Amino acid sequence: MARASIAVALLTVLLPAASAAQIAEPLPAGRFAFAPFVGLRVGHTVEFTDQVGSAGATVTETLEVDGGPTIGAALHVPLVGRLSAVGSATWSFSEEGTLTVSGDGAASVDDVNDSGTILFARAGLGYQFVDTEPESRVRSVAAVLSVGPVAARLDSGGLTGVDPQWHWGVAIGADALLPLGERGLHFYLAADDYLMFWAGEKLPTRRASPGAFTDRDAESSNILTLRAGLAYRF
């Protein structure tokens, strides 16, 4: 809950900042903005619980992944009025982490050198906030708050015989585009909060002796990403 609260707080920072810059008019209909970016994925946790064997012993596996860099591209397509279609693809590099396995009153902690790469693909509907008094504007800033589905392709992190798997979630995002000149170039700043609902049966186990599980229950995760780049409005 604390991580989710921090994510929501960071997402709302962009909107007051854009308001302070005196937002003017929405993106013109029929013109889209394309933004390559670099960014940062904040550290996150992937946790699941296995029911192992016929006796139903419970084993919990928790992978705490360090934060790391990301690259990708985003797209904004104005629809009508203040509504926009938004989308992005984000590649998150593999990072180190810590694996904790607990069950039957015992626990072990090990370092993980390769947590696996993650490809995030999101789409959504955005609402653009604008100033109602354009005569007082100083700059024309596009600030968009959006929500929509996100898919995450989770790599196995070097585990033998395990293929990458897709998982699903919900993304809440805040994007801002600040004009840098008269030729469509903008500074792009954004933050996303991905609420991932991991498919437990698709999550790879890293235990040395995993055994045969009869049921796997995975916890949801909040993954916060921050990004910045240059956007061009066509």
pLDDT, the chain, mean:
81
| Cα distance from N-terminal residue to C-terminal residue, the chain | 40
Per residue in 122-131, pLDDT tens?
999 999 875 4
How confident is residue 20, by pLDDT bands cut at 50, 70 and 90? very low
pLDDT given for residue 136 in this prediction: 44
* Strand (E) or helix (H) holding 16: helix 2-20
Per residue in 139-197, pLDDT tens?
566 789 999 999 999 987 777 667 889 999 999 999 998 888 767 788 999 999 999 99
Ramachandran angles phi, psi of 10, nearest 5°: -65, -35
pLDDT given for residue 204 in this prediction: 80
Per residue in 24-45, pLDDT tens?
445 554 478 899 999 999 999 9
Mean pLDDT value across residues 115-128:
92
Radius of gyration of the CA atoms of the chain, in A: 21
